[in-house]
Amino acid sequence: MKIINTKFKGLQIIKHNSFGDKRGYLRVTHNQKFINKKFIFEYCTNSKKNSLRGFHFQRKFQQAKYVIVVKGKILDCVIDLRKKSKTYGKIFKIVLSDENNLALYIPEGFAHAYYSYKDKNIVYYKLSNYYHPEYEDGINTLDNDLKIKWPNKKFLISEKDKKLKSFKEFKKKYKFL
């Protein structure tokens, strides 16, 4: 495993070790020597091609996330919502896939979203806190002020995500996390 620090404090890219032969491969996805974080909750999503999920966060009981693509390919995207951060309001994007063996550690205080490239995309999460739907909120992934160039113009988006507020509305309501 190799840890690559980004310009965003605490946001790290993890390059997994992979060992393969004619049967397939084994991928080391977690090693506490490298990622010494306390994860207490895990889940997995399965997304179809052109699915767009997010930007999600919990305003209370915030969650650090360790995101791994088990199958498929996604454009993973985060917004730094931490008040005192030099990168507050800035966006970080990275392609994660089962082929490039990259994962992303996202510290607390970020909103998270992703776009699915393949017909089947299985994304596995380790989280530092439990899911609390009463504190869940988000920012609309299609907010023009964010200036995100998603890979496609037609998306599969949940009704709930379509109704999320803009980043300007987030700043008025919360200011920061």
Instruction: Choose the catalytic residue: 16, 88, 124, 125.
Output: 125
Instruction: Note whether 127 and 121 are within 8 A (CB).
Output: no
Q: Would residue 125 show up in a list of annotated catalytic residues for this protein?
A: yes
Instruction: Note whether 72 and 117 are within 8 A (CB).
Output: yes
Instruction: Choose the catalytic residue: 56, 66, 105, 117.
Output: 56
Q: Would residue 115 show up in a list of annotated catalytic residues for this protein?
A: no
- Using CA atoms, how far apart are residues 128 and 108, in angstroms rounded to an integer? 9
Burial label, 118 (beta-carbon count in 10 A; 0-12, 13-18, 19+): middle
- Using CA atoms, how far apart are residues 69 and 96, in angstroms rounded to an integer? 6
Length of the chain: 177
Q: Which residues are catalytic?
A: 56, 125
